[in-house]
Amino acid sequence: MGTVHIVGAGLAGLSAAVRLTEAGRRVILYESAPQAGGRCRSFYDATLDRVVDNGSHLALSGNRSLLGYLERVGASEALSELRPAAFPFLDLGSGERWCLRPGGLWLFDKARRVPGSRPADYLAALRTLTARPEAAVADALPPDGALYERLWRPLAVSVMNGAPERVSARLFGAVLRETLLRGEAACRPLFAEKGLSAALVDPAVAWLMRHGADLRTGTRVDGLERAGDRVAALSVDGERIPLGSEDTVVLAVPAWIAGRLLPDVLPVPPAAGRAIVNAHFRLPAPIDLPGGLPFLGLVGGTADWLFRRGDVLSVTVSDADALAGQPAETVAATLWRDVAKALGTAGTAPPPHRIVKERRATPDQSPVHAANRPGARTELENLVLAGDWTNMGLPATLEGAVRSGEFAARAVLTARITTFSRLGLFPAFTLPRRGPI
Ligand SMILES: Cc1cc2nc3c(=O)[nH]c(=O)nc-3n(C[C@H](O)[C@H](O)[C@H](O)COP(=O)(O)OP(=O)(O)OC[C@H]3O[C@@H](n4cnc5c(N)ncnc54)[C@H](O)[C@@H]3O)c2cc1C
């Protein structure tokens, strides 16, 4: 059995590495950054004297691949679950507050649904499940009424990082199918209270180290050398590393880098999507948010979500290209205005803060790009793809990234069977080349 060379130690690469190591394969992970985690990571900020995340991430209890990954690496307790599921909101324009509490007969209880919505309005969600591939969220869900402005739009923007008019209805429907439509137990919010790296990255890295995998941080793969229908060598920081005849490569880098490394295998590089901006404010003391929960959804302002972690209050804005183009101080002032309004302290100056602009937060998730995502297998027999932009059936999320890593691992582990069946030795095992793998 050859070595599996995994390029990129974000959640997709880590998830593939865990599965392959578990299956007894020798794994080398190359990561260009000094730390694993990719777009899901924590760092120490000296201004705040706190560890903060590159951006607050919300997962849901229906994210079975993410939870399975954590269980495998012995970190089942890493995320804290809000039980029963609840999503508090505040309209900054009208001052109205509500809390969405899915589960049971919630739609028939006015206090648990969006004010101004009727139970029948929610049935529109089903249309996203059967939407045409070219449909955007706004084509499937009627862009009018209270439910659209107070639920579908904020949900589409935060889950898909794009306006409902631009992002794929099918991908959005896939999230609803695995969470909201499965009832309360599948939509409990999950938080990384000690930070993203501590919850989702460090336990996997420690597990991989304990099980003999080789993680090389600060190591960039800058080229893949092709010979016929195989990858023959990697260029690692300019040095040629020849691959053995049984070696495989899992490319788990962001879409825009994969396109650069593989111009002839992926001739149209998937585009980067919109920015996500986060502001972390260090408060004089921990506070309670309106609604009494660790997070709060906002509509009618610039800020989308507030997350409270100790004395740090973090603000997230998705689909934020315009905001990301402004100087950090302007961003801080704009977002603090929304925070202060929500907290009833309007007119106060922003406390110490750190602004993080992730300009390439997710790949483009328009219907066209969603319909053209590549599966894990490629035309090269020892090259497999992973990442939140590949065809794993979900939007670019933690769950999507982890699941793509699982598909990639499965493609590696079944490659020998495919090779044998191509030679006519195992005709019964021929695998279809359609779908995610
Ligand atoms: C600010 C922000 C907020 C988000 N919020 C949420 C949320 O609330 N919920 C949610 O589910 N998802 C959220 N996401 C999306 C989620 O973080 C991503 O979908 C997921 O982390 C992508 O993982 P990945 O492994 O596919 O890619 P990446 O995390 O990008 O990993 C790819 C890795 O490859 C490395 N690499 C690149 N080039 C090379 C090279 N040449 N050689 C070696 N290594 C290389 C990179 O350094 C990186 O570590 C958010 C993303 C951002 C940025």
Per the listing, tokens 């040629």 go with 240
Q: Is the CB of 221 under 6 A from ligand 1?
A: yes
pTM of the model: 0.95
Choose one of 145, 170, 187: the last residue of a domain: 187
The pLDDT assigned to 83 comes to 96
Average of per-residue pLDDT across 343-355:
96
The verdict on residue 342 lying in a domain is yes
Q: What is the CATH number of the domain that holds 349?
A: 3.90.660.20
What rounded mean pLDDT belongs to the chain?
93
**E strands of 21-143, at which residues?**
26-31, 42-45, 50-53, 59-60, 80-81, 87-91, 97-100
Structural domain count, the chain = 3
- Model confidence pLDDT, tens digit, residues 378-392: 999 999 999 999 999
Q: Is the CB of 402 under 6 A from ligand 1?
A: no
Amino acid letter, 212: G
Q: Is the CB of 175 under 6 A from ligand 1?
A: no
Q: Which residue has the higher pLDDT, 182 or 424?
A: 182
Average of per-residue pLDDT across 338-359:
96
Number of other CB atoms surrounding residue 189 within 10 Å: 19
The pLDDT assigned to 143 comes to 83
Instruction: Tell me which of 193-207, 259-273, 399-413 is least confident.
Output: 259-273
Q: Is the CB of 89 under 6 A from ligand 1?
A: no
Per the listing, tokens 């269980």 go with 71
**Residues 388, 262 share a domain:** yes
Return the residue whose CA atom lies nearest to atom 31 of ligand 1: 10
**For a pocket test of ligand 1, which of 15, 35, 54, 57 has the largest count of ligand atoms closer than 8 A to its C-beta?**
57
The pLDDT assigned to 1 comes to 85
Q: Is the CB of 231 under 6 A from ligand 1?
A: no
The verdict on residue 58 lying in a domain is no
Q: Is the CB of 387 under 6 A from ligand 1?
A: yes
**Residues 267, 410 share a domain:** yes
- Model confidence pLDDT, tens digit, residues 24-76: 999 999 999 999 999 999 999 999 999 999 999 999 999 999 999 999 999 99
The verdict on residue 265 lying in a domain is yes
Average of per-residue pLDDT across 343-352:
95
The verdict on residue 73 lying in a domain is no
Q: Which residue has the higher pLDDT, 425 or 25?
A: 25
Q: Is the CB of 66 under 6 A from ligand 1?
A: no
Confidence of residue 433 (pLDDT cuts 50, 70, 90): very low
**E strands of 165-209, at which residues?**
189-191
The pLDDT assigned to 427 comes to 34
Residue 431, pLDDT above cutoff 50: no
Return the residue whose CA atom lies nearest to atom 38 of ligand 1: 253
The span from the CA of 191 to the CA of 11, in Å, is 16
Average of per-residue pLDDT across 304-333:
98
- Model confidence pLDDT, tens digit, residues 313-322: 999 999 999 9
Provide the token pair at 61: 């209890």
% of the chain residues with pLDDT over 70? 95
Average of per-residue pLDDT across 399-420:
86
Number of other CB atoms surrounding residue 296 within 10 Å: 24
The span from the CA of 253 to the CA of 313, in Å, is 31
The verdict on residue 372 lying in a domain is yes
Confidence of residue 422 (pLDDT cuts 50, 70, 90): very low
Write the CB contacts of 121 (distance below 8 Å, at least 6 apart in sequence).
145, 147
Q: What is the CATH number of the domain that holds 371?
A: 3.50.50.60
Whether 218 and 385 have beta carbons less than 8 Å apart is answered as: no
- Model confidence pLDDT, tens digit, residues 76-135: 999 999 999 999 999 999 999 999 999 999 999 999 999 999 999 998 889 999 999 999
**Residues 282, 262 share a domain:** no
Q: Is the CB of 388 under 6 A from ligand 1?
A: yes
Ligand 1 atom closest to Cα of 36?
49
